Amino acid sequence: MSPVSARAPKPRSAPAFNAWRRGFLARVLGAVAAMQLPAVIVLAAALRESTAASLPWCALGSLAMHLAGASVLAHRLRWWIDDVRMPWWRQWLLEVPYAVYATGCFLAAPVAWVALAGFGVAALAGRPVASVLPWLGPVYAVAGLMGLWGSTAGRAWARVTRVEVPVAGLPEAFDGYRIAHVSDVHCGPYVPAWMFLAWARRVRSLDADLVALTGDLITVGEGYLDDVTAFARGLAARDGVVACMGNHDYFQTVDGVVRALAATEVRLLRNAATSVSRGGATLHIAGVDDRWSRRDDVDLALRGIAPREPVVMLAHDPVGWPDIALRGVALTLSGHTHGGQFGVPLGPRLNLGRLASRFSAGLFRQGESALFVSRGVGTTGVPTRVGMAPEIALLVLRRA
């Protein structure tokens, strides 16, 4: 059987519905409700204006339709559906359409809330209130089209970002060294084989010296480990492929990603280092394990490397970079943020990820140390990207 062929879902019991998961589910569904409530009001108004039904019945009908859509999300969050391979029709006929709808609600919500508040103030002041549809109908139409793009082609076509990075102490032999940086593939139901194989071909076309994978090769569980193996086998570079682990690589699995990469030629760096040589010069490549599960050990990863020698560190979560920079690491490669998956395409840092970390996307510097945070290629949560396209970074090292 091909490593990327579909397998029938196997029976399994529901994951433990513990306090953490209940809290997580409550936060997500609360945020979804805040985004969808204006859409409920707009749809109720549309039903009222296009039918003879009373306002209460229109409101109940609108609410029922929105709750039916949200049940797709609730089911996914409850079961961690990625832990087994699903039939193709579920994601493409149920979950991706819901992603289009949810993205449209999210993008339109700020404008809709302001407009509805204005209508409410006008009504309380005794002024006549016009129909909301001429005002908010076009807003939701545009937002829906953006959601359609972001949930389909917008999350499939990876862009190549080329960045030159001055590296202190870089030997002359490594001036111009090219690293293809790929992060957050998130193999799962939203990443079919044609998509991740296209990303792998794009990486190979860059003719890089080294390929660096900075974690989150899966989303949840072990249902798509065959895809991890197939993706990794599709990568190639003169000095090979190195990788570190991400937080999702331990969700509903202990060593699934480790086993998937063991079937390839990828060198997995779990608090360890390797090196590449050019003539008599050496460049060290280190990697730390997952920070979320407290498996990371920077000192262990750098053991045996003399001070001031150039090091490229793979660390999935960029939040640990200030500590890594204090160790004298010249360049750290991270992912994790996805650039928020939503942003304004006027600069890499104008994105939703800024709400969680100031290291959301792009190149950062602290003294002689640099950090590059990739937007990644895959998605988590709602499978959508708007203004933050999938990214494959080609980093060219230069002598500082």
Identity of the amino acid at 96: V
Q: Provide the pLDDT for residue 251.
A: 93
Q: Provide the pLDDT for residue 290.
A: 97
Identity of the amino acid at 216: D
- Alpha-carbon span 213 to 227, nearest angstrom: 15
Beta strands in the chain (DSSP E): 159-167, 178-182, 210-214, 241-244, 267-268, 272-278, 281-287, 311-314, 331-334, 362-366, 369-373, 391-399
pLDDT, tens only, 275-304: 999 988 999 999 999 999 999 999 999 999
| Mean pLDDT, the chain, integer | 90
Give yes or no for residue 114 having a pLDDT over 50.
Answer: yes
Give yes or no for residue 190 having a pLDDT over 90.
Answer: yes
Give yes or no for residue 10 having a pLDDT over 60.
Answer: no
- Alpha-carbon span 264 to 232, nearest angstrom: 7
Burial 10-47, CB ≥16 within 10 A → b, else e? eeeeeeeeeeeeeeeeeeeeeebeebbbbbbbbbbbbb
Provide the β-strand partners of residue 395.
Answer: 163, 179
Give yes or no for residue 103 having a pLDDT over 50.
Answer: yes
Q: Provide the pLDDT for residue 8.
A: 45
Give yes or no for residue 131 having a pLDDT over 90.
Answer: no
- Alpha-carbon span 373 to 395, nearest angstrom: 11
- Alpha-carbon span 346 to 343, nearest angstrom: 9
Give yes or no for residue 2 having a pLDDT over 50.
Answer: no
3-state secondary structure (DSSP) of residue 19:
helix
User: Radius of gyration over alpha carbons of the chain, in Å?
Assistant: 24
- Alpha-carbon span 304 to 302, nearest angstrom: 6
Q: Provide the pLDDT for residue 130.
A: 65
- Alpha-carbon span 86 to 19, nearest angstrom: 27
Q: Provide the pLDDT for residue 305.
A: 94
What residue has token string 């262990």?
300
Closest CA to 338 of 180, 250, 215: 215
- Alpha-carbon span 387 to 106, nearest angstrom: 14
Neighbours of 100 (CB within 10 A): 22
Q: Provide the pLDDT for residue 355.
A: 83
Compute the Cα dihedral for 258, 261, 265, 266 and give only its sign: negative
pLDDT, tens only, 305-344: 998 899 999 999 999 999 999 999 999 999 999 999 999 8
Q: Looking at beta carbons, which pairs linking 128-132 to residues 24 or more positions away fall under 8 Å?
A: 131/45, 131/49, 132/41, 132/42, 132/45
Q: Provide the pLDDT for residue 7.
A: 46
Closest CA to 211 of 330, 314, 301: 314
Q: How big, in percent rounded to 5, are the helix, strand and coil portions of the chain?
A: 45, 20, 40
Among 73-77, 144-148, 225-229, the range scoring the smallest mean pLDDT is: 73-77
Burial 121-152, CB ≥16 within 10 A → b, else e? eeeeeeeeeeebeebbeebbeebbebbbbbbe
Q: Within a 13 Å sphere around the CA of 29, how many CA atoms are in the beta-carbon half? A: 18
pTM of the model: 0.91
Identity of the amino acid at 256: G
Q: Provide the pLDDT for residue 14.
A: 65
- Alpha-carbon span 97 to 95, nearest angstrom: 6
Compute the Cα dihedral for 322, 324, 330, 335 and give only its sign: negative
pLDDT, tens only, 26-73: 888 888 889 999 999 889 888 888 888 888 999 999 999 988 888 888
Return the CATH superfamily for domain 160-399. Answer: Metallo-dependent phosphatases (3.60.21.10)
Ranges of each domain in the chain: 19-151, 160-399
**Cβ-contact 17, 88 below 8 angstroms:** no
Q: Provide the pLDDT for residue 394.
A: 98
- Alpha-carbon span 10 to 223, nearest angstrom: 10
Give yes or no for residue 9 having a pLDDT over 50.
Answer: no
Average confidence (pLDDT) over 363-373:
95
Q: Provide the pLDDT for residue 192.
A: 94
pLDDT, tens only, 201-253: 999 999 999 999 999 999 999 999 999 999 999 999 999 999 999 999 999 99
Burial 154-186, CB ≥16 within 10 A → b, else e? bbbebeebeeebebeebbeebeebbbbbbbbbb
Residue 373 phi, psi dihedral angles, 5° rounding = -105, 115
